[in-house]
Amino acid sequence: MLCTDKKVCLRSVVAWAHVLAMHHVAAVAADSAEVVLPRRIILVGGPPDGHPPGTHEYAKSVLLLRDHLAGLPGAVETVVVETAENGWPADPAAIERADTIALFSSGSDRREQDHPLLVGDHMDQVAKAMARGCGLVTFHYSTFAPNRIGPRVLQWTGGYFDYESGPGPRNWFSRINTWEARLEPATPDHPICRGVEPFTIKEEFYWRIRFRDDDKRLVPILKTLPPGEQEPQTVAWAVERNDGGRGFGFTGGHFFSHWQNESFRRLMANAMLWTARAEQPPQR
């Protein structure tokens, strides 16, 4: 039916133009909306290093942490967790697509090649990942590093166990001991400390970690008072780098049984999510 009233026809045309314009705006907005992809966490477990059963359980630790992360509320939509239980991912693409890389492995003081960063081209792979803002986590023995890679480790994670700059005969600058330790969150409002309560465990901790002098990025996460010390020492720490990447180091983790401790598990899960820039689930 033809429109014979010019005013009515004009109003109809304007109305339809408005409807079409709104549909166009909605379509453009839908096309340009940011697609939020799951964050990728890769847990690297090193091979056995000769320690007794129940200690330095690298492969078991990464599998347990993988399952724990998968069980967190909303994890299916927000994170993808990959594991490499044989020392390093077989496919270099795993490192290329990771949002954070966590090392559960030997250190380098006995033999440098025991540390995953010091095997083949692994350091170069990680350097490329760090340059695009990937996170990095070192756990217990993997906090050990030679001073020749110290500047890189300080940039990426904020600290490391220095076994070369101290007095003889061992030349250890950093310290090590096992005792019944009381752990206190040092920066309670930091996301890694979310839901972490003070807890006590018998643990082999490292302290007097090598940090940069006056590193403004460095945030202490856990502190404890080692035997013979007058002041609490930092045994877990975090940094946020200028390139957007995040780093975390924790010197605990000698005994596999500590994964039974809720605050221990929560600390490690929070660290994985924070360094991957993944959303943390609500506390239960």
- Could you write out the DSSP letters of every residue in 206-241? EES-EE-TT-TT-EEEEEE--TT-SS-EEEEEEEE-
107: left (phi > 0), else alpha (psi -120 to 50), else beta?
Answer: beta
Greater confidence (47 vs 25) lies with: 47
pLDDT at 17: 42
Q: How far apart are CA 103 and CA 41, in angstroms?
A: 11
Tokens of 205: 């901790």
- Among 61-70, 195-204, 238-247, 275-284, whose mean pLDDT is lowest? 275-284
Rounded to an integer, the average pLDDT of 66-75 is: 89
- As a whole number of angstroms, the distance between CA 183 and CA 236 comes to 10
Between 282 and 165, residue with greater pLDDT: 165
DSSP 8-47: HHHHHHHHHHHHHHHHHHHHHHHHHSPP-PPEEEEEEEPP
What is the mean predicted confidence (pLDDT) over 219-225? Answer: 98
Give the C-alpha separation, 227 to 205, whole Å: 11
DSSP states of 48-74 as a string?
Answer: P-SPPTTBS-HHHHHHHHHHHHHTSTT
Give the pLDDT confidence of 74-132 residue by residue, as tens digits: 776 788 999 998 899 999 999 999 999 999 999 999 999 999 999 999 999 999 999 99
Superfamily designation of domain 39-275? Class I glutamine amidotransferase (GATase) domain (3.40.50.880)
Domain map (residue ranges) of the chain? 39-275
The pLDDT tens digits for 170-193 are 999 999 999 999 999 999 999 999
- Evaluated on CA atoms 278, 137, 238, 179, the torsion sign reads positive
From the CB of residue 144, how many other CB atoms can be counted at a distance below 10 Å? Answer: 25
Q: What are phi and psi of 201, to 5 degrees?
A: -145, 150
Here the tokens at position 23 are 């549909």
* H or E element, residue 6: helix 6-32
Task: Name the helix (H) or strand (E) containing 270.
Answer: helix 262-275
What is the 3-class SS of 93-131, one letter each residue? Answer: HHHHCCCEEEEECCCCCCCHHHCHHHCCCHHHHHHHHHH
Tell the residue number behind the tokens 């990942």, with chain if given: 129
Beta carbons of 263 and 199 less than 8 angstroms apart: yes
What gap in Å lies between CA 198 and CA 19, rounded to an integer? 59
58-70 helix and 262-275 helix, angle to the nearest 10 degrees: 80
Helix (H) or strand (E) segment spanning residue 127: helix 122-131
SS (H, E, C) 164-206: CCCCCCCCCCCEEEEEEEEEEECCCCCHHHCCCCCEEEEEEEE
